[in-house]
Amino acid sequence: MGPAGQQTVRVPQSTPADQPTDVVNPLHGASGRTRTTPEPELLTHREFDDGYDYDDPDSQYDEPVLGDDEARRLRRKKIWKRVRRVSYVFVALMLIGPLVAFFVAYQIVDVPNPERLADQLDKTVEIKYANGDNFATVAPKGRRTLVKAADIPVQVRRAVYAAEDATFETNEGFDITSIMRAVWNNLTGGGGGGSTITQQYVKKATGNEDKTLTRKALELVTAYKLSNTTDKEDIIAGYLNTIYFGKGAYGIVAAAKAYYDKPLDQITDIEAATLAGVIQQPGRAGGDPEWVEQRWNYVMNKLVENKWMDPAKRASATFPPMADETAANPGMTADKQFIWAQAKRELENAGISEEEINRNGYKVELTIDPAAQEAAKEASEAVMKGQPENLRKALVAVDPNTGRIVAYYGFNEAKNGIDFARSWQNPGSSFKPFDLVALLHKGKGLGETFDGTSGRKFGGITINNSEGNDDCGERCSVAKAMELSINTVFADIAYNETGLKAVATAAIEAGIPQNVGQKGMPLEQNPDLNISIGGGKYVARPIDMAGAYATFAANGTKRTPHIVAKVTNPNNGDELIFDGDESLGKPQPAFSKTDPALNAKIARNVTESLIPVVNSTRGGALKCIEGRQCAGKTGTHGCADTAKTNKSDNCAAWMVGYTPQISAAVWVGSDDNSALRNKQNKVIFGSGLPGDIWKKFMDLYLKGKEKKNFPKYVPIGLSPDQAVTQTRNSDENKNNNQSSSSTPSSTPSSSSNNSQSGEPSSPPKSTKTNTGIFPTGRVDPPGQGGGGGGGDNDDFGQPTG
């Protein structure tokens, strides 16, 4: 009995064997016992109490029915559950995989050794003409001169940092910010790499420059390991001892000698900026002084930005003149060096650096025909012999059927550091065929007539012809305007008929680069009336003009002019490394990609307009040898600075012409925009010295070769004959309706009425009101071009355009 008379109920004690093995009470108590806390369900148990007694066989159970929305939610929940689990695995692999790979690579990669690299001398490079004859041999210059870190002047190191890797002394061998920026630039169509100096050193030292992610990853690991195991001073010393600087200079000591003929310890900070600048593309250093100066300006600005140079010193600094260009390859004559420099530029653009060529001992086959090259040299030197010292010349000849440059002569004894075959100059009237292409695109042809009188206004701008060619009249056909080079007709076509952008498009279609001039101005960007006569800011190079006219010669088939035929590796069974004919000479329709017949007709109509320029009695001095069919256009450009020159003076003169077999462009000018006068002190026109050089070259090149004719002429729009008839009928009707006191309009004069050719007996008087007739002026590379945008001068002694 318990307290207060209550009876005590005793519960039998369990034996140890009866004790539960779990700390959790069983789900169901024994019969007559108090129900205890239920045991948690296993994973296989249902997660909800559905009221069904699974121990009762009589219990009825129906599966719950889910609604459509609830079923969709359940499916989405299961899908996202799987997605989350897969994502976790993927992220884990992304994080762990690279870390493991990085660790493994770190253990096995070797860091470069500059002494060992110096022993791996570059191999001999053989350069061949197109016919297999030897052009030149570039031999290794012996062991590179190594310099200790302590012997590299601080101004040299800072210039290199500014140019290549401003954070070199603090980064871990790679710069993640630069890498991400480079990735972004490449994804958005830009350029620029994200490599540090350490990474570049690894790439150059290993010789592995494959454009693969595997190579880039190993490079990064090696750079990190190198940065952790080697002092920064030793890394920069190894880098500067290893890399190529152009001009045949390997290592910083050789670079100081090649560029400034100085020992390294005498290089100034201003000179160091040049050496650092060319590291980016050393192959361009030889033969491209404009680019070298651009890079110098970039490095100088970066030095100021990083507080390594006083802004005042930067403002007063001028580009330091470099040593003689011929020192780069002493085994080549200067004219050959320009050819080799152009070849290296092409290969650099194709991803084959000069360093790679030298390291592997590649064999380079050029497109240059030795006979054509000799003809170019002979014609240029013979005609220019005894002419005033300020005159310069250039000639480039292209095979229209292949795009191969068969002759390339930009050498001038007085300026042997400048390749004038690549210099930007105002093309003058030789740009007028592109006006015609734009007109032909509109279905209008050589028989269309325009007012060819002088003193016409276009958008408030007065355009003049020159004295002696105002006789083209108020109804001047396009054909006659091309023959007489009438400025007002082509300004009218561009301004009123086709639009200025259409002329720019036509020039690009033919082969003129989209970006012209030193500053890379887009040809189609805000064009002004200068484009119609090749003045103002519109410039071209002899290599461009020869290529564009080759498109006309090839009946509308465009090929990129190129000077490299192929590159092979003789150490690997003459493995083909680069095929210039396939990569650059591949044919493509120029003027219509969808209508081959129209494409050919446009080109042939241009040719028809250019045949009289060469073959008429006015231009008879330019007729090709053996009665061959030739077409072409001369061009001159007036001088801008009339304070130093006469209004009738020219500062650029051209002759560009072709047969079905060859297209050649000749330019004569100066390097300081001075007036062009021949040895008789007469004004130089396109038909003068440039025409003489062109004709002599064409005669030498074509002599003995098969005669080929242009295809049949099928006119677009009105033909020249229809224009004459139309003009005659129109004038007759006009005269019949006028009173006897009226003055009849002018009719086109025949070519026989203007039978001058070559140089006039005395400089003609110009009716130009000024040389800057267009408001925009021109953007000239320093020391190049004609300037001013003044009217072009007639190429047969009459200053008309």
Q: How far apart are CA 315 and CA 300, in angstroms?
A: 10
What is the structure's pLDDT at 168?
84
Cα-based angle 538, 539, 544 (whole degrees, multiple of 5): 130
Q: How far apart are CA 22 and CA 772, in angstroms?
A: 105
Residue written as tokens 């006039």?
760
**403 and 286 co-located in one domain:** no
Q: How far apart are CA 515 and CA 790, in angstroms?
A: 22
What is the structure's pLDDT at 89?
65
- Among the listed ranges 11-20, 495-504, 578-587, which one has the minimum average pLDDT value? 11-20
Which has more confidence, 95 or 199? 199
Catalytic residues: 164, 429
What is the structure's pLDDT at 498?
97
pLDDT digits (tens, 9 = 90+) for 329-345: 667 888 898 999 999 99
* pLDDT level of residue 79 (50, 70, 90 thresholds): confident
Is the C-alpha dihedral spanning 498, 500, 502, 503 positive or negative?
A: positive
Which has more confidence, 549 or 746? 549
Three-state DSSP state, 650: strand
Domain membership flag for residue 726: yes
- Among the listed ranges 281-285, 673-677, 755-759, which one has the minimum average pLDDT value? 755-759
- Give the bridge partners for 461, in sequence order: 458
Query: Residue 52 pLDDT > 90, yes or no?
Result: no
Contact present, 144 and 250 (Cβ < 8 Å): yes
Contact present, 388 and 646 (Cβ < 8 Å): no
Which has more confidence, 551 or 34? 551
- Give the bridge partners for 588, in sequence order: 558
Domain membership flag for residue 77: no
**Which amino acid, residue 156?**
V
Q: Summarize the confidence of residues 744-758 as an average pLDDT.
A: 30
Domain membership flag for residue 221: yes
Domain end marker among 293, 322, 351:
322
> Quick one: which H or E segment has residue 219?
helix 213-229
**276 and 383 co-located in one domain:** no
pLDDT digits (tens, 9 = 90+) for 766-778: 333 333 333 322 3
- Give the bridge partners for 47, in sequence order: none
**391 and 294 co-located in one domain:** no
What is the structure's pLDDT at 400?
98
What is the structure's pLDDT at 758?
32
- Most confident by average pLDDT, 52-61, 70-79, 451-460, 743-752: 451-460
**Which amino acid, residue 228?**
N
**What is the number of other CB atoms lying within 10 angstroms of the CB of residue 543?**
25
Domain membership flag for residue 271: yes
Q: How far apart are CA 404 and CA 550, in angstroms?
A: 10
DSSP structural state of residue 745: P
What is the structure's pLDDT at 84?
74
Query: Residue 553 pLDDT > 90, yes or no?
Result: yes
Q: How far apart are CA 377 and CA 398, in angstroms?
A: 15
Distances (CA, A) of 495 to 457, 460, 502, 516: 10, 12, 10, 21
| pTM for the full predicted model | 0.73
Q: Which domain holds residue 260?
A: 144-322
Domain end marker among 287, 306, 322:
322
Q: How far apart are CA 329 and CA 482, in angstroms?
A: 45
Q: How far apart are CA 89 and CA 287, in angstroms?
A: 56
Q: How far apart are CA 337 and CA 128, in angstroms?
A: 13
Q: Summarize the confidence of residues 316-329 as an average pLDDT.
A: 78
Q: Summarize the confidence of residues 166-190 as an average pLDDT.
A: 61
Q: How far apart are CA 348 and CA 340, in angstroms?
A: 12
Q: What are the structure tokens assigned to 325, written together?
A: 């260009």
**508 and 642 co-located in one domain:** yes
**Which pairing describes strands 125-128 and 363-366: parallel, antiparallel, or unpaired?**
parallel
Residue written as tokens 């003689």?
324
Collect all residues with Cβ–Cβ distance below 8 Å to 69 and sequence separation of at least 6: none
Domain membership flag for residue 801: no
Contact present, 49 and 41 (Cβ < 8 Å): no
Domain containing residue 304: CATH number: 1.10.3810.10
Q: Summarize the confidence of residues 489-506 as an average pLDDT.
A: 96
398 Rama sector, left if φ>0, alpha if ψ -120 to 50, beta otherwise: beta
Largest Cα–Cα separation, the chain: 160
**552 and 477 co-located in one domain:** yes
Strands (E), 70-211: 125-128, 134-138
Q: How far apart are CA 127 and CA 136, in angstroms?
A: 5
Three-state DSSP state, 675: coil
Which has more confidence, 660 or 780? 660
Query: Residue 750 pLDDT > 50, yes or no?
Result: no
Domain membership flag for residue 443: yes
Domain membership flag for residue 188: yes
DSSP structural state of residue 614: H
- Among the listed ranges 114-123, 135-144, 337-346, 567-576, which one has the minimum average pLDDT value? 114-123
**291 and 413 co-located in one domain:** no
Domain end marker among 322, 342, 359:
322
Q: How far apart are CA 669 and CA 685, in angstroms?
A: 10
Three-state DSSP state, 653: strand
Domain count, the chain: 2
For the chain, give the number of residues: 801
**151 and 260 co-located in one domain:** yes
Q: What are the structure tokens assigned to 782, written together?
A: 């320093």
What is the structure's pLDDT at 771?
31
**Which pairing describes strands 392-398 and 663-669: parallel, antiparallel, or unpaired?**
antiparallel
- Among the listed ranges 165-169, 219-223, 237-241, 788-792, which one has the minimum average pLDDT value? 788-792
- Among the listed ranges 93-102, 669-678, 729-738, which one has the minimum average pLDDT value? 729-738
Domain containing residue 744: CATH number: 3.40.710.10
**243 and 388 co-located in one domain:** no
Query: Residue 36 pLDDT > 50, yes or no?
Result: no
Domain membership flag for residue 413: yes
Which has more confidence, 33 or 88? 88
Strands (E), 275-411: 363-366, 392-398, 405-409
**304 and 378 co-located in one domain:** no
Query: Residue 743 pLDDT > 50, yes or no?
Result: no
Q: What are the structure tokens assigned to 549, written together?
A: 């006219």
**404 and 537 co-located in one domain:** yes
Query: Residue 756 pLDDT > 70, yes or no?
Result: no
Collect all residues with Cβ–Cβ distance below 8 Å to 501 and sequence separation of at least 6: 524, 527
**315 and 439 co-located in one domain:** no
**608 and 728 co-located in one domain:** yes
